[in-house]
Amino acid sequence: MRMRPTLSWTPPPDLPPSTTDLRAVADSLRAGGVLVLSGAGISTESGIPDYRGEGGSLSRHTPMLYEDFVGSAQARRRYWARSHLGWRVFGRARPNAGHRAVAAFGRHGLLAGVITQNVDGLHQSAGSEGVVELHGGLDRVVCLSCGAVSPRRELARRLEAANPDYRPVAAGMNPDGDADLTDDQVADFRLVSCTVCDGVLKPDVVFFGEAVSPRRVERCRELVGEAASLLVLGSSLTVMSGLRFVRQAAQAGKPVLIINRDATRGDVHALARVELPLGTALTTVADELGIPLDGGTTP
């Protein structure tokens, strides 16, 4: 049974205080075996907004829900019109210092793995290997009828051909590559279907209200079990898809460290939550460990 998604969380008054001290993060990385769990906050410095931080997209819109997408042709039209426009911007985003630091830690053998809740592919673009995309990736499209998977760039070309004059001005961008458009702006947008079976196309991402693949969850649980510690980067941990791994690590007695500007649902399980911008924090830690980013260049 699918549940309506948890879109917000109010921090209780008795959460542990945050810190700006990065020594525990540096010590964990120095010891090795760190599993990274990243959220939308690591990509904000690449120009992709987050959901729940200050000015987050949830303050102005409700993201597409799985049940709405599969149950309504109009909802699909609205989604693909907004996503097609957003992809033009989203697809040009580049890794920032935070992504590059994570990749550098991996190259130096300090990580047990990387799990990301993001769908932007920026960890991989920065050079991280074996990234588990908990919520999928926007660079792929899947057919809901036959299961065929195809590149997003191919769909973008087909949508461009079907809507050659589609150039609306968006009010903003969202973390899932979805541009803010009015109903009038999407009313005449033409959809395309699967080239294999003429079925309905969906981005290969987990929508709000949709279940994460059990196989993917199990792989993440294995990584938590193998790791020495868990480092959460830029996630409020509001939804259970990420919080469960924090709880698993804490229950196993493994240190949990969080770098996030705002309080998170995982703070009660954490050794510390560092309240610093991620690019600054991770670059500082890399410098402390003598690890260069991008072969020695720094942002």
Residue 260 labeled ligand binder: no
Catalytic residue among 84, 99, 135, 269: 135
Contact 264, 258 (CB under 8 A): yes
| 249/229 Cα distance (integer angstroms) | 7
Residue 136 labeled ligand binder: no
Residue 258 labeled ligand binder: no
Residue 197 labeled ligand binder: yes
Residue 48 labeled ligand binder: yes
Q: What is the 3-state secondary structure (H, E, C) of 182-224?
A: CHHHHCCCCCCCCCCCCCCEEEEECCECCCCCHHHHHHHHHHH
Residue 293 labeled ligand binder: no
| 107/66 Cα distance (integer angstroms) | 37
Residue 120 labeled ligand binder: yes
Contact 201, 142 (CB under 8 A): yes
Residue 113 labeled ligand binder: no
Residue 290 labeled ligand binder: no
Residue 185 labeled ligand binder: no
Contact 292, 286 (CB under 8 A): yes
Residue 51 labeled ligand binder: yes
Element (H, E) at 141: strand 136-143
Q: Is 108 a catalytic residue?
A: no
Beta-bridged to residue 114, according to DSSP, are 36
| 139/147 Cα distance (integer angstroms) | 16
Q: How far is CA 200 from the centre of its chain?
A: 24
User: Nearest CA to 131 among 50, 38, 30?
Assistant: 38
Residue 143 labeled ligand binder: yes
Element (H, E) at 273: strand 272-274
- Token pair of 276, please? 């610093």
Residue 196 labeled ligand binder: no
The residue written with tokens 């702006």 in the block is 185
Residue 41 labeled ligand binder: yes
The annotation places the binding site for Zn(2+) at 143, 146, 194, 197
Residues acting as catalytic residues: 135
The annotation places the binding site at 39-59, 117-120, 143, 146, 194, 197, 234-236, 278
